[in-house]
Amino acid sequence: MWLSDVTVSRRRGRRREDSRLAEHVDRLGEEHPPIPLGSVDYTMKKPSLLAERFGPVLAYMTRVELEVERNVLELNILLPDPPEVDRHFYADVWMPQETRHGQILDKLQNLIGVDPHEPNLADVSFSLKFLGALGRMPGVQDVSRMLYYLTGLATERSAVIAYNKFHAGLVGLGERAIAATVVAPIRRQEPGHFAYYQMAAQQLWDQLSGWQKWLTRGLRKRTFEVVGAYNKRQVADFGDVMEALKMSDGGEAELREYARQVGRAEHELMWAHRQGMRVPDYVFKSLKRAAVLAAERKGDVWPAAQPAGS
pLDDT at 294: 96
**213-224: burial string, b at 16+ Cβ within 10 Å, e else:** eebbeebbeeeb
Secondary structure of residue 24 in the 3-state scheme: helix
Q: Which amino acid is at 302?
A: W
Determine the Cα angle at 81 with ends 79 and 87, to 5°: 75
What was the pLDDT predicted at 125?
A: 87
One-letter amino acid at 176 equals R
pLDDT in tens, the chain (310 residues): 454 443 444 444 455 567 899 999 999 999 999 999 999 999 999 999 999 999 999 999 999 999 999 999 999 999 988 999 999 999 999 999 999 999 999 999 999 999 999 999 989 888 888 888 888 888 999 999 999 999 999 999 999 999 999 999 999 999 999 999 999 999 999 999 999 999 999 999 999 999 999 999 999 999 999 999 999 999 999 999 999 999 998 889 999 999 999 999 999 999 876 655 677 899 999 999 999 999 999 999 998 765 555 4
Are 191 and 119 contacting, i.e. CB atoms less than 8 angstroms apart? no
The answer to whether 42 touches 108, Cβ cutoff 8 Å, is: yes
> What residue spans of 181-310 are helical by DSSP H?
184-207, 210-223, 232-244, 251-266, 281-297
3-state secondary structure of 220: helix
Structural domains of the chain sorted by starting position, each given as residue range(s) with its CATH number in brackets: 16-209 (1.20.1260), 224-304 (no CATH)
Q: Are 22 and 88 in contact (CB under 8 A)?
A: yes
CA distance 141 to 147: 10
Coil, helix or strand at residue 275: coil
Query: How many Å apart are CA 111 and CA 42, to the nearest integer?
Result: 9
Q: What is the pTM of this model?
A: 0.89
pLDDT for position 26: 96
The reported pLDDT for the residue numbered 11 is 47
Query: What is residue 250's predicted lDDT score, i.e. its pLDDT?
Result: 86
